[in-house]
Every structure is written in structure tokens, then in C-alpha cells.
Amino acid sequence: MFTTSQAPVNTYPVGFYRHLAMAEGILGWFFLGLFVVVLSGVLIR
């Protein structure tokens, strides 16, 4: 899985954008987990 937390070697966010990239990576994993929980709840029902 490719997210912004796994940036290419020659591209690094700097300054404030580094914090935005970290927040995007964390929110991406959070929403992926939320999707799996909701989907499994729907399939089990």
C-alpha cells in the first residue's frame, strides 16, 4: 500500500508540510481501519 508516509527517496516534505504529510498518513490509516470495521459489520449482519 502506498501512502504519503512512504515517500520516494528523493522527495521529503519540509517545514509545515511535513506535519501535513504526517497527518495525512495517520488519517489514511484511520479511515482504512474504519472502512474495514464498517465493511465487516455489514457483511456479518
Would you state the pLDDT for residue 1?
Answer: 46
Per-residue pLDDT of 5-45, as tens digits, reads: 565 667 778 899 899 988 988 999 999 999 999 999 999 98
Q: Can you tell me the distance from the alpha carbon of 16 to that of 25, in angstroms, rounded to the nearest whole number?
A: 15
Closest CA relative to residue 2, chosen from 22, 23, 25: 25
Cα separation of 19 and 1, whole Å?
21
- Record the pTM: 0.66
Find where cell 479511515 sits: 31
